[in-house]
Amino acid sequence: MRSPARQRLGYVALLCAAFLVAVTSGLTSFSTQIDNDAYDWMFRAYVRGGGEPRSILLTVDEATLLELGGQRRLRAFLAEALESLVAARPRVVAIDIALVDAEDETLDGRLEAALAQLPAYVLPSDEMPDGRTWQEPLARFRRHAKAVGHVHALPDPLDSVNRGLPLEVIVGRDRRWALALETFRLYSSAATVTESPEDIEVAGTVILAGRAEGRPMLIRYRPEGVPRISVLELKQKPELAERFRDRAVFVGVVAQNMARDRLMTPTSGSSQMPGVEIHAHAFETLAGGAFFGKAQMTAVVLACAVIVLGAGVSFWYLNGVRAYASAALLLAAAHAAPHLLFRGGVVFPVFAPLAAAWLSVAGAGVWKHFVVRRQLEKTEDDRARYQQAIHFVTHEMRTPLTAIQGSSEIMSRYNLSDEKRKQIAQTIHQESRRLGRMIQTFLDVERLTAGQMELKREPFEAGGLIDQCVERVRHLAERKRIVVEAAPPPAVTLTGDHELMEYALYNLLTNAIKYSGEDTRVEVRTQYGDGVCRITVTDQGIGMDASEVKQIFRKFYRTKSAVAAGIVGTGIGLSIVEQIVTAHEGRMEVESTPGKGSRFTMVLPARAAAGAAPDRMVVSQ
């Protein structure tokens, strides 16, 4: 039986393992992908309309390119579109078209003039392939620009889905705010972006985005999208220009063959969203002022620890249905928490807390199951031992008790001669001593099985033990005219508990007599060799078959033929014999043939008695 302290330690170790596995597995790319998928799922489930959009897209789509002269004429129709917007006075125009090379002078000039008329516009810039400088827009276009913003909207390296963008990108030593952020600043008429290492602030809107992490911002994609009007549509219906009034206008190419910056987003399904639209959504996120914040790693680790602790406490202090009910509650809470947090704007990973919940609940549950089972087994064991005790008392002890009762009755009833009286008194004395010995043996075996008793370790001669037992069974054997023959044993010394060994051998002998017919023989043989003593009791009795031999040492087991023959027994004796022999580091061997007889052998560690030749096979016949 494990001690409670070790049990507690094992339990704590199990919970710690569950915690560590949950936290470390939460860092793998597999779990990150699951967290990403859960994020997208929750996004689609919980993010609802963000009110009236503050932005609008002015797009160059396939139809525009087809009708207005293709990519070559881009700057021309772009200039024309911007000119038509001037009257509507959009608050700010963000251009997501790289204007880095000079093209046709007249066209560039027209575009420059159109830009100059806008109340405010932002130009894009991207990192040069060498990664050391910014690719700047042409100076003529830049001249009137209120800002230049970066257009880094990168896909997640794991699944190529875009969920956010860095509000700040530093190339070389030059820092650029995101195009969307600059657009928002101009839209809000803020002069600057105020920054601290943890957050940035634009016109009273504070965005928690740490400088150390590259100031990331999760985009709250509007499920209903951002309104869009193409350059062609604007040309065909100039009255559409009114829709751009007071809005932030994002201008970009969305035609499949030209827009290389298309990405998947949580709301875009299997299709991809053009970069300009992503920037418009980022702007809407900033303008809406409701940001998603990613939970800190320490919070995740803490949550895992709380969950594991919860499971541990539930299964340690509660039992049965209560333990399982609280575990179910814990699991439900672990499943629900990321959803509730998401609705409150906090993005919490699902994998690590769920792994912590399931692992700790399963681990603690299984642990509890085994502890309960062990307790049940112990109770069963105690019950069986109790039954055994009752059987022992009722059957085994009845014989000496009857003898004592009978003898004392004779003494009190009849007028007996001194000789007879002395004889009966002696019988009473002998039987009561036997009873006393039996009780002692019984208690010893009980304590031995319960592990409460140290076996006595005293040396004694095998010969003496055999003689005593044979002597004790002789009168039993005589009643059935059975000859008990014990060959003189070799000089062997056994070590152990003499009383218990006597009980064991006596049991084998009484069984041999009990399960044999009249006029048969019972032989006791002793062999010694290689430090092992074999004491064999052979009878010519009813025997048993091989399958019965296997079960003979089970408590309360009795063979069919023994029951059929009507021989009284409890099926306890042999189980005690085996326990005694095992406690002496020995073993039992049984050979038997139905109807022919049985041979029971106690194989015990021994040494040759002083004077005898050591380690030589001595057979006594």
Tell me which residues in 596-615 interact with ligand ADP (CB under 6 A). 598
Residue 524 CB, nearest approach to ligand ADP (Å): 13
Residue 573 CB, nearest approach to ligand ADP (Å): 3
What DSSP string runs through 497-545?
A: -HHHHHHHHHHHHHHHHHTS-SS-EEEEEEEEETTEEEEEEE--S----
Tell me which residues in 433-492 interact with ligand ADP (CB under 6 A). none
Q: Which is nearer to ligand ADP, 151 or 577 (CB)?
A: 577
Residue 539 CB, nearest approach to ligand ADP (Å): 5
Integer Cα distance of 354 and 331 in angstroms = 8
Residue 366 CB, nearest approach to ligand ADP (Å): 37
Residue from the set 248, 323, 354, 562 that interacts with ligand ADP by CB under 6 A? 562
Q: Residue 147, interface with ligand ADP (CB under 6 A)?
A: no
Residue 554 CB, nearest approach to ligand ADP (Å): 9
Q: Which is nearer to ligand ADP, 232 or 537 (CB)?
A: 537
* Token representation of residue 49: 């309309």
* Token representation of residue 330: 């814990």
Residue 443 CB, nearest approach to ligand ADP (Å): 19
The continuous run of DSSP H or E covering 105 comes out as: helix 105-117
Residue 512 CB, nearest approach to ligand ADP (Å): 5
* Token representation of residue 384: 């069986």
CB-CB contact of 493 with 606 (8 Å): yes
Residue 527 CB, nearest approach to ligand ADP (Å): 19
Residue 333 CB, nearest approach to ligand ADP (Å): 56
Integer Cα distance of 112 and 105 in angstroms = 10
Beta bridge partners of 521: 483
Tell me which residues in 489-518 interact with ligand ADP (CB under 6 A). 507, 511-512, 515
Total of residues contacting ligand ADP (CB under 6 A): 22
Residue 587 CB, nearest approach to ligand ADP (Å): 17
Q: Residue 31, interface with ligand ADP (CB under 6 A)?
A: no
Tell me which residues in 534-553 interact with ligand ADP (CB under 6 A). 539, 541-544, 552
Q: Which is nearer to ligand ADP, 499 or 591 (CB)?
A: 591
* Token representation of residue 378: 């112990």
Q: Which is nearer to ligand ADP, 447 or 560 (CB)?
A: 560
Q: Which is nearer to ligand ADP, 571 or 586 (CB)?
A: 571
Q: Residue 570, interface with ligand ADP (CB under 6 A)?
A: yes
Q: Residue 578, interface with ligand ADP (CB under 6 A)?
A: no
Integer Cα distance of 604 and 505 in angstroms = 12
Q: Residue 77, interface with ligand ADP (CB under 6 A)?
A: no
Integer Cα distance of 255 and 607 in angstroms = 100
In sign, the C-alpha dihedral spanning 274, 280, 283, 285 is: negative
In sign, the C-alpha dihedral spanning 261, 262, 264, 267 is: positive
Q: Residue 280, interface with ligand ADP (CB under 6 A)?
A: no
Q: Residue 572, interface with ligand ADP (CB under 6 A)?
A: yes
Q: Residue 574, interface with ligand ADP (CB under 6 A)?
A: yes
Contacts of 446 (CB under 8 A, 6+ apart): 385, 389
CB-CB contact of 484 with 522 (8 Å): yes
Written as one letter, the residue type at 186 is L
Q: Which is nearer to ligand ADP, 55 or 516 (CB)?
A: 516
Q: Which residue, 454, 448, 441, 446, is CA-closest to 387?
A: 446
Q: Is 586 exposed, middle or buried (0-12, 13-18, 19+ CB in 10 A)?
A: buried
Residue nearest ligand ADP, Cβ-based:
569
Q: Which is nearer to ligand ADP, 277 or 539 (CB)?
A: 539
Q: Which is nearer to ligand ADP, 545 or 615 (CB)?
A: 545
Integer Cα distance of 125 and 100 in angstroms = 9
Residue positions counted in the chain = 621
Q: Residue 571, interface with ligand ADP (CB under 6 A)?
A: yes
* Token representation of residue 499: 């009383």
SS3 140: helix
Q: Which is nearer to ligand ADP, 31 or 511 (CB)?
A: 511
Q: Which is nearer to ligand ADP, 229 or 542 (CB)?
A: 542
Beta bridge partners of 125: 150
Q: At what angle do helices 179-187 and 275-288 cross, to 10 degrees?
A: 50
Q: Which is nearer to ligand ADP, 162 or 559 (CB)?
A: 559
Residue 559 CB, nearest approach to ligand ADP (Å): 3
Which residues bind to ligand ADP, rule: CB under 6 A?
Answer: 507, 511-512, 515, 539, 541-544, 552, 557-559, 562, 569-575, 598
